[in-house]
Structure formats: structure tokens, C-alpha cells
Amino acid sequence: MTARTDQSRATAERIIISVDAMGGDAGPEAVVAGMASFARGTPDVGFILHGPQDVLSALVAKRRDLEGRVVFCDARDVVTMDDKPSHVMRNGKGTSMWSALESVREGSAAGAVSCGNTGALMALSMLRLRKLPGVNRPAIAVLWPSRNPQGFNVMLDVGADVRADARDLLQYAMMGASYARNGLNIDRPRIGLLNVGTEEHKGRAELKEAHGLIADAAESANFDFVGFVEGIDIPGDRADVIVTDGFTGNVAIKTGEGTAKLIGDLLREAFQYSFLSRLASVLAITSLRRLQQRIDPRRVNGGVFLGLNGTVVKSHGSADATGVEAAIRLAYNLARTGFADRLAARIAAATRLLDETDMNRADTNRQRAEEGQV
């Protein structure tokens, strides 16, 4: 096998990722740096890069790892963090974000990555890629550091929509299971439904209804349902997938993020306190770096939009090159496993099943919940 054969094979089977260069806090430099870093170890990746072409081509020209890997798509407008989703939907046609999604829509790219405004990206994704048949509310799923062997749990929804009824939560369970199977290689993921207690009589009415629906779907959708879980289980090992509405999920991950950051800062202060503690930190530096890497949010950067015709990865707005690289890797891995098609097939099958046999059950549940029996 020669280098030449490798090269031509890689070109033939290239996986193309569409990248929105603009809208992130760290600017297009960080985005291009992240692309280059990922391309270095991944011979079969290619990019379509969206934004002001003059600026971007100059940045790409400096990166040898990107030579011959990038197609430019000129877009002069940028969606800012302050733009309202409704405004972007009406006036966003010239933006790099719109353009990045267009490459997925027309099939030139296997997935899109953007560091821009979450609300606008979800609104445009729904507008241009459309929801999968049978999906009412798409969701954003993230990976969260946990005690599980795989090191992470999947959590959804973390902010696509502030509401979710029982059927939405069932769909989140199925989409989350599919994502855990393809993204974390877990054959039979354990699904938990987030609540304020693990007892079946606790919590809101829609959660009790969702509990029944998810339990019924577990067998045919090939996952285990562990029932209600609590906030403490998000970084725990009771479930691989945590299902909740976008309001609760968003508050939860931001609380976790804030807590981790506070502890990190206090730890740094603690080690600065005295000569002995500064010496200690020098001795412990490798161990501390290992810990930092284990819980570094940049390593798991990327919320995946689930329930659309196509893969969209939302990178953290403040992502640096390492964060952007992680988001691109996620889009690439999902593209390679054919995740979008598998998810669509599973949702289609589940929707059929639910429509045929479970509508009655859902109605019974709802009725019971109204009568206060559940």
C-alpha cells in the first residue's frame, strides 16, 4: 500500500463537513485553526467553508493541513449573538449560517457546524432542513461528563424548546437512544426521565404520562428504561441518556457548568495560598491536568440538533480551536456512521408503531392523569 493509494482512496470517500466560519466569539481564526487541527489526523475529511471568502482564503492559505481540502462559499452577512431568531428567519439569506445549512440541504455536505447564536441556528435549521416526519419538536443533545464507563451521558433537550409534552419526551428518548448508540457505541442505552424524585407518584402530570409511553416503547426501540432519575444522576451512572424538556435541561447544564467552573477557580486559589501549596501544585501538575482533561467542556463541545433532515452541530459560542475541533469531530463521526439515516429510519418505525398501537394507551394515560389516578 503506497501513500498515493491512500491519498486517492481518501479523496474518493471524503466526508464533507459544512462549516460556518462566523458568529463565534473567537472569530474565524479559531474556526480555521480547529479545522486544520482535525484535518491533520483525518485524511478523508473535506470542508465547505462559509463566510467572507477574502478573509477566509487568507486564513486557510496559512494552514498546510487544509491544502486542497476546502471549498469556499462566499457569504457576506453574519448572524450575531443578539439577533432574534424571527429576524434571522426573515432576513438571514445572505448570512454564513444560512449558507452553511444550505450545503447540508442540497446534499453537498454530510453535516454542518456553527459557533453562532443557538436560537437562530435552530430556527434556520427547522426552516431549511425541515423536521423529520413524525417529529413534533426537535431537540438539542449534549454529552455530559459522568461516572459511566464511557465517561459521558447524553442529555436532551438542553434548549431547543422550552416546552415538551409526553409524546415529545418519548421522541427525545428514542432520538437520545439512537444518538447514544451511534455517538457513544452503546448497544442498548439506559434511558432515564428527569424528575424531582424517583418515586412514580412524584412530579408533573406530563412526566407521569411520558413514563408510561417510554416504558412501553423500550422493547421495540431497543433501549432499557430505568424510570425517573434526578439531577444528581446527570453526572452519575444510573442512565446513559437523560431525557427532559429544554427549559429544565438548559438550566441543569448551565448550573453544572457554573459549579464546575467555581470549583476549578477555588482549587486554583487554594493552590496559590502558601509556598507549600504552590510546591504541591507543581508536583501534582500531571494528575491535575488529567483531571482537567477529563472534565474539560471543550472536549465534548457540540450540541447536536436531533429530529431534522440532516446533522447540525452547534459549537459553544466561545469555543477556541480545541472546541471547534471537537465539534467538527462530532459531526464527522456522526456522518461516518450514517447517523442521520439511521435516526430517520428509527423515528419512522417508532411513529408507525405509536400511531397504530399506542394511541389508545396514551389516551388512557392522559385520562387517568386527569382523574388523578397516576
Asked if residue 140 binds its own copies (CB under 8 A), the reply is no
Q: Least separation, in Å, of the C-beta of 245 and its own copies?
A: 10
Ranges within 194-213 binding its own copies (CB under 8 A): 194, 196-197, 201-204
**Which of 109/160 has CB closer to its own copies?**
160
**Is residue 231 near its own copies by the rule CB under 8 A?**
yes
In whole angstroms, the minimum distance from the beta carbon of 347 to its own copies comes to 25
- Window contacting its own copies (CB under 8 A); options: 99-107, 276-284, 331-339, 348-356: 276-284
Quickly list DSSP for 219-277.
HHHT-EEEEEE-GGGTTSSS-SEEE--HHHHHHHHHHHHHHHHHHHHHHHHHHHSSHHH
The region of 3-11, 104-112, 253-261, 360-368 touching its own copies under the rule CB under 8 A is 253-261
Amino acid at 190: R
**Phi/psi of residue 231, each to 5°?**
-55, -35
Nearest to 30 by CA among 262, 275, 319, 298: 319
Contact between 1 and its own copies per CB under 8 A: no
Q: Which stretch binds its own copies (CB under 8 A): 38-46, 139-147, 175-183, 336-344?
A: 139-147
DSSP category for residue 278: H
Range in contact with its own copies (rule: CB under 8 A) among 46-54, 70-78, 127-135, 232-240: 232-240
DSSP one-letter string for 345-356: HHHHHHHHHIII
Regarding 350 and contact with its own copies (CB under 8 A), the answer is: no
From 295, 322, 336, 337, residue interacting with its own copies (rule: CB under 8 A): 295
CA–chain centroid gap for 31, Å, is 18
Q: What distance in Å separates the CA atoms of residue 132 and residue 121, rounded to the nearest whole number? A: 17
Adjacent-strand bridge partners of 242: 155, 192
Q: Is residue 318 within the footprint of its own copies (CB under 8 A)?
A: no
Q: Are 17 and 44 in contact (CB under 8 A)?
A: no
Q: What's the Rg (C-alpha) of the chain?
A: 22
Which of 58, 162, 348, 359 is in the footprint of its own copies by CB under 8 A? 162
Rule CB under 8 A: is residue 87 a binding residue for its own copies? no
CB of 222 to its own copies, least distance (A): 27
Indicate the residue among 9 and 204 with the shorter CB distance to its own copies: 204
CA distance 121 to 111: 13
Question: What is the Cα–Cα distance from 338 to 364, expressed in whole angstroms?
Answer: 37
Q: Closer CB to its own copies, residue 263 or residue 359?
A: 263
> Could you say whether residue 244 binds its own copies (CB under 8 A)?
yes
Q: How far apart are CA 216 and CA 360, in angstroms?
A: 12
Cell triple for 247 = 427549559
AA letter at 157: D
By the rule CB under 8 A, 294 interacts with its own copies? yes
Q: Does 91 bind its own copies (CB under 8 A)?
A: no
> What minimum distance in Å lies between the beta carbon of 259 and its own copies?
4
Q: Between 94 and 133, how does the x/- string for binding to its own copies read (CB under 8 A)?
A: -------------------------x--------------
For 31-98, the DSSP string reads: HHHHHHHHHHT-TTEEEEEEE-HHHHHHHHHT-GGGTTTEEEEE--B---TT--HHHHHHH-TTBHHH
Of 58 and 280, which CB lies nearer to its own copies in the complex structure? Answer: 280
Residues of this chain that bind its own copies (CB under 8 A): 84, 119, 145-147, 159, 162-163, 194, 196-197, 201-204, 230-236, 244, 246-248, 250-263, 265-267, 269-271, 273-274, 276-277, 279-284, 286-288, 290-291, 294-295
